[in-house]
Chains A and B, each alone.
Chain A
Amino acid sequence: MTKALTVLPTQNLEPFKGVKKIALEEYFTSGHRTCQGCESALVMKLMAKAAGPRTVILGATGCMYVANTTYYSTSWVVPWMHTQLGAAGSAAVGTAAGLKALMRKNRIKQEPINVIAFCGDGGGADMGLSSISAALTYPEYNFLILMYDNESYANTDIQLSSMTPYGANTTFSPPGKARRILHKRWKKNVAGMLAAGHPECRYVATVDASYALEMMNRVRKALTIGGPTFIHSLDPCPKGWDYDPIQSHDLGELAVETGVWPLFEVEDGVLKFYGKSKSIAQGRKRKPVREYLLRQGRFAHFTDEDIEYFQKKIDQMWERWLIPGAVCIAMSDDIKKALAKSEVELATAN
């Protein structure tokens, strides 16, 4: 009989225990042309550092391709290959499958090699969602898909994606005299949707590079746990969000402190909040979203009413969702009661 699943061993990447323990080697270095203060470029650097040298990286079209890999001055120290805008999931599957077949047939050395495919929010949450969803159902391949979310199609001049926050000014949603707000969609919760819908995926996390150590250790955990995994990173983008580049780090923190960006990880089907989001989930007061929104030019046209609407939606997420940030549905009261009853019965039976 063949085994139910044949998953190759992964590298054992222990968490970095403190900033001083982080490896010094860089695998994403100079040569790129991203904007000053680009948080996504920092995500690339930290992701590559966390993964280490025995890694293959695939990158979908977007700023992190176009601005990052100029012919003759590539910033990648590890092997890197472009993939199409909506193909991050397929790139990960194809690379992992190729390596697996060749190792099994003894055509290349058998060793754990990290496979990481990254994409932007446009590439991942819009065009490539089906390819990522498919990828997370192949339990026999080891790879990480990292979606860097700068909340717009940044590379093509800041057009709105399904991840752009409500009301933001983008080149496809400019505020005008007749209509102040053209973009009325609410951002999708991609990490939650993927965690909830893909039982074979052992690890999903949201991250924020303002908390660099936490972020890197989640990349290491995703690569170590094996199988298909997914990380969603929120990246302040000075050009698209319209703020002074010096503020990138602060905005990343504010996104978490206002509760706009909940940090959580889902490991083997169990969800945990971490960092400041953990204390928020445990009752700590969130900062008002006004502090976050008004530091960004893309919300400069917001009236008090718009800010209130935004605040209300964030409050609802924390108060009404089954899992804030992850699962935007709640259980009906009768089911809640029934479940609570059967839990009591279970406890007494045991």
Chain B
Amino acid sequence: MTVATKPAAAADKEMLISGCAAIAQALRLADIDVVTAYPIRPYDTVMQAVAKLIANGELDAEYIVASSEHDQFEIVKHASAVGARVFCGSSGVGWMYAMEAIAVTPALRLPMVALVGNRALDDPGAFGCEHNDALCVRDLGWMLTWVDTAQEALDTALIAYRVAEDPRIFLPCAIGADGAFLTHSETIVKVPSKEKVDQFLPKYDRGDKLLHPDNPITIAPQVNEDWVMEIRKQNDEAMRRARGVIQEAFRDFHKIFGRQGGNPFVESYMADDAEVILFGQGTLSMPVKVGVRKLREQGHKVGFVRLRWLRPFPTPEVQEALGRAKAVGVVDRDYSFGSPNYGAVLYNEVRSALYDLPKRPHVISFICGLGGREVTLDSVVEMSEILLKVAKTGKVEQPNYWIGVRG
């Protein structure tokens, strides 16, 4: 879909807000129709912000406080089927509680935007950031993106609606936001005008898939082995198309708002000439970028690449960004117990993506920052030194390291 661009309307407004509040601003601008809330930290500050917007008359939407996350996700799923633009979200075990509803939503080809305020899964109890909650849906047909700043959260929420509701896609999109680091940290955010957003984001139109008495269709009948494989294949094709639609959306976003002109899929930081590269997603970029600058001052050719979309996985971009390095360290804020090399989720994704390159970098797995533990400058230096040694010797002594663990 292409969007005619007009000269910019009213100027952006600057606000000092958290990542969750920035997403709430995006929801106001997207004029969502139905939103369901259930309390769990840290994602739920977005629902508090939405409630205020509604109470103050800044947003007109059905605000439903559900009785569980399962109800929460089922309610918006059905609202989306009758043509409503919907928002939902959760964190940690809340996201897991809703898993049945979450799993069927992409299979039904129902667009939805959800925020996952990343949180460790109990037990033992922990509020802090860990990515295993959101990662549970990586195989199911959800588009998955991780954001790094409150500004990126706002922009990405608008882009997510545009892509998810594109009739070529009709898939849900989850936005991963690191608990506390992003959900709760306040920064200056440019909030665009409604006119600009209206230029960018068309109304949600389900066309002949709409559930309405004027269009009496049957949705999700029993298909069994007769049809389920063809239907799965259609989901696969939609996910493949998502790549191009995301690129299109970023291009238009840049034209209209003047932001997000870079590569939509990966952010490269001092990585073009780097011998060793740290790779990760979300707010990890803050300590890693500082560390990279420090190491560069000391003459080490270190760089950082941040993954922005995990689904669809940007294989060519990842190959391009990492292919020239001698060693890549994948920093996972998650675990995948018993997986190849005892590495974690991103590590195995990246290693697989690089496999077809004629000349591949060594890939090392770092498990770091679990349960909200801070990724410190020292940890960044430690990981970089391991990589520099691998680059120098050409040998991998150990494929996987847990970084910053006591005892």
Q: Which residues of A are in contact with B by a Cβ distance under 8 Å?
A: 53-56, 58, 65-66, 69-72, 74, 76-84, 86-87, 89-91, 93-95, 97-102, 104-105, 107-108, 113, 130-131, 133-134, 138
Contact = CB atoms under 8 A, between A and B. Distances in A.
A93 B219 CA distance: 17
B34 A94 contact: yes
Interface residues of B, number: 42
Closest 9 CB pairs of A and B: A94-B78, A98-B79, A90-B74, A98-B84, A134-B67, A94-B75, A69-B221, A74-B218, A82-B220
A312 B70 CA distance: 40
Given A94-B74, A104-B60, A108-B212, A76 B218 contact: yes
A2 to B, nearest CB: 10
A90 B75 CA distance: 5
B220 A81 contact: yes
Interface of B: 31, 33-34, 60-62, 64, 66-68, 70-71, 74-84, 86, 100-101, 104, 203, 211-213, 215-223, 226-227
Contacts of B64: 93, 97, 138
Contacts of A84: 74, 100-101, 104
A94 B71 CA distance: 9
B222 A71 contact: yes
Contacts, number: 141
A330 to B, nearest CB: 30
B103 to A, nearest CB: 9
Contacts of A100: 62
Contact of B82 (A80, A87, A99): A99
A71 B221 contact: yes
B70 A80 contact: no
Chain B contact residues: helix, strand, loop or mixed: mixed
A130 B68 contact: yes
B34 A87 contact: no
Contact of B222 (A54, A65, A95): A65
Contacts of A105: 31, 33, 60
B108 to A, nearest CB: 8
Contacts of A78: 213, 216
Given A80-B218, A98-B81, 6 more contacts: A78-B213, A90-B101, A91-B74, A94-B34, A94-B81, A101-B84
Contacts of B211: 56, 79, 81, 95
A53 B213 CA distance: 7
B32 to A, nearest CB: 9
Contacts of B86: 98
A66 B222 contact: yes
25 contacts: A70-B222, A72-B221, A79-B211, A79-B213, A79-B215, A80-B219, A81-B218, A84-B100, A86-B70, A87-B74, A90-B74, A93-B78, A94-B74, A97-B62, A97-B79, A97-B84, A100-B62, A101-B61, A101-B79, A101-B84, A102-B33, A102-B84, A104-B60, A108-B212, A134-B66
Nearest to B103: A84
A97 B67 contact: no
Given A71-B221, A74-B218, A84-B101, A94 B33 contact: no
